[in-house]
């Protein structure tokens, strides 16, 4: 089965790709904090930008696989975040 077909292999490819790329971005940030006291160079920023783009790609193809509109996913999350912040400030 090709990874373009719907099935376990396609779902795994998208999900694990998302986790892997997000992990690579986080690991780069960890090393910048550990090795450079958090001081980003333009090269660091460019590499992280590339990894974030790869992460976004896998997020998009996973959303498409699940028949979810990525913009609707984002809107829902923004509303959830706004609700959380509003409720937190009441405490």
Residue 42 falls inside a structural domain:
yes
Contact, 27 vs 48, CB < 8 A?
no
Residue 71 falls inside a structural domain:
yes
Give 29's contacts (C-beta < 8 A, 6+ positions apart).
48
Residue 35 falls inside a structural domain:
yes
Range of the domain at 86: 8-90
Instruction: Assess whether pLDDT exceeds 80 at residue 2.
Output: no
Residue 56 falls inside a structural domain:
yes
Q: Please state the domain count of the chain.
A: 1
Reported as a single tens digit per residue, the pLDDT across 6-19 is: 899 999 999 999 99
Residue 60 belongs to domain with CATH number: 1.10.287.1080
Residue 3 falls inside a structural domain:
no
Residue 18 falls inside a structural domain:
yes
Give 13's contacts (C-beta < 8 A, 6+ positions apart).
3
Mean pLDDT of 6-35: 96
Please state, in angstroms and rounded to a whole number, the distance separating the CA atoms of residues 86 and 47.
35
Percentage with pLDDT > 70 across the chain = 96
Please state, in angstroms and rounded to a whole number, the distance separating the CA atoms of residues 64 and 51.
20
Mean pLDDT of 50-79: 94
Query: What is residue 90's predicted lDDT score, i.e. its pLDDT?
Result: 78
Residue 2 falls inside a structural domain:
no
Residue 1 falls inside a structural domain:
no
């Amino acid at each position: 089965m090709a990874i373009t077909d719907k099935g376990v292999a396609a779902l795994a490819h998208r999900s694990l790709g998302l986790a892997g790329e997000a992990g690579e971005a986080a690991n780069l940030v960890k090393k910048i904090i550990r090795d450079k006291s958090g001081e980003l160079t333009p090269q660091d920023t460019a590499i992280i930008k590339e990894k974030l783009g790869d992460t976004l790609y896998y997020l998009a193809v996973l959303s498409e696989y699940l028949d979810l509109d990525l913009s609707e996913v984002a809107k829902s999350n923004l509303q959830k975040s706004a609700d959380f912040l509003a409720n937190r400030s009441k405490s």
